[in-house]
Amino acid sequence: MTNYAAVPPEVAELSAALSQPRPIRRGTVNERRMKCGQANCACQRDPKARHGPYYMLTQAAGGKTRSRYVAAAQVPVLRRQIEAGRDFRQQVEAYWDACEHWADAELAAAQTAEGAEKKGSRRASEKRSGKNWRRS
């Protein structure tokens, strides 16, 4: 009965956007400046003399947060991947919203069809028995 061929334009558009594969990543890239182990080094007293910057990629995986150092040259790539991941998440949310709109329309159509077929007593009795069953 349901005509899935009649995909709403919004859903079709979002679906097409989702099916464009690209490298995406969760997490964040942070810059760090560190003290070294040498007692006479300026970094021990002056925060501006700390070494670095060093870059860390931090990601949550299976309830744990993991960090690792990455090369400075990798940072622009990582930032692009993380940004693309954020876009992807928004697209997924938009896709969900559009599909639920579509689902609402389908549901409303089903109600109209039922109302036309079984108008009257059966609906009322179903409602009553359902209530009783839940309370007892």
Kindly list the residues in this chain that would bind Zn ion in the complex (CB under 5 A). 36, 41, 43
- Closest to Zn ion by CB, 35 vs 80, is 35
Torsion, Cα 76 78 84 85, to 10 degrees, reads: -160
Q: How far is the CB of 46 from Zn ion (least distance, A)?
A: 10
Q: Where are the alpha helices (DSSP H) in 36-74?
A: none
Name the nearest CA neighbour of 9 among 102, 112, 77. Answer: 102
- Closest to Zn ion by CB, 34 vs 71, is 34
C-alpha 87/C-alpha 93 separation (Å) is: 10
Q: How far is the CB of 43 from Zn ion (least distance, A)?
A: 3
- Closest to Zn ion by CB, 41 vs 77, is 41
- Closest to Zn ion by CB, 36 vs 71, is 36
- Closest to Zn ion by CB, 3 vs 38, is 38
Q: How far is the CB of 34 from Zn ion (least distance, A)?
A: 8
Is the separation of the CB atoms in 79 and 55 below 8 Å?
no
Q: How far is the CB of 53 from Zn ion (least distance, A)?
A: 14
Q: How far is the CB of 98 from Zn ion (least distance, A)?
A: 55
DSSP letter for 118, please: S
Torsion, Cα 11 15 16 17, to 10 degrees, reads: 110
